[in-house]
Amino acid sequence: MEVSEIAEMYERYAPAIYARCRRLLGSNAAGRDALQESFVRVLQRHRTLEPGEQTLRYLYKTATNVCINQLRQRSVRDRAAGELTAQLAARPARQPAPGDRQFVQMLLDQCDETAIGVAVMHFVDGMTQVEVAEALGITRRTVYNRIRQIERLAGSLLEGPSPSPIEPG
């Protein structure tokens, strides 16, 4: 990619990607770091991206992955766990929803990266299954299946014995 193309892409998409990162990470500084890391990853992969919807989706997915990785590395998953707990508690469920962060932390610890992305986008951000599928580059059916797996896993955690983790599929 040419320097001018990179600059144009950054000017066009950085505000939206920054807002996404800042929301997920909970701070302006962390959001800026994640924004920069997202663009660095695009450059490292030598991707040529044409302006448009597909570029925004690719950057959105990359930024979401960067944010999830930063949450893991910095042990800030408690923030996502707290928000997910609140969303699960507010959501009508067949099982009583747990109200503590430990439960959600235990739930997320047993999920793969795709399932965590689906959980954050669907339960925390309130995105539809179609929106999550487009952002992550997976099918809507995969999103549906991951949501059901997470709900089943949550139900088994409430019942007791150690359930099997969600494996990449």
Q: Is residue 166 one of the residues assigned to a domain?
A: no
Q: Could you give the CA distance from residue 102 to residue 6 in angstroms, rounded to a whole number?
A: 42
**Domain containing 152 — which CATH number?**
1.10.10.10
**Domain containing 17 — which CATH number?**
1.10.1740
Same domain for 84 and 154 = yes
- At residue 166, the pLDDT reads 63
Q: What is the pTM of this model?
A: 0.48
Q: Is residue 168 one of the residues assigned to a domain?
A: no
- Residue-wise pLDDT for 133-167, tens only, equals 888 889 999 999 999 998 888 888 877 655 556 66
How high is the mean pLDDT of the chain?
79
Same domain for 132 and 59 = no
Closest to 115 measured CA to CA, from 75, 80, 82 = 80
Q: Could you give the CA distance from residue 145 to residue 169 in angstroms, rounded to a whole number?
A: 10
Domain end position, chosen among 53, 73, 93: 73
The parent domain of residue 57 ranges over 3-73
- Residue-wise pLDDT for 105-133, tens only, equals 788 888 888 888 888 888 878 889 998 88
Same domain for 141 and 87 = yes
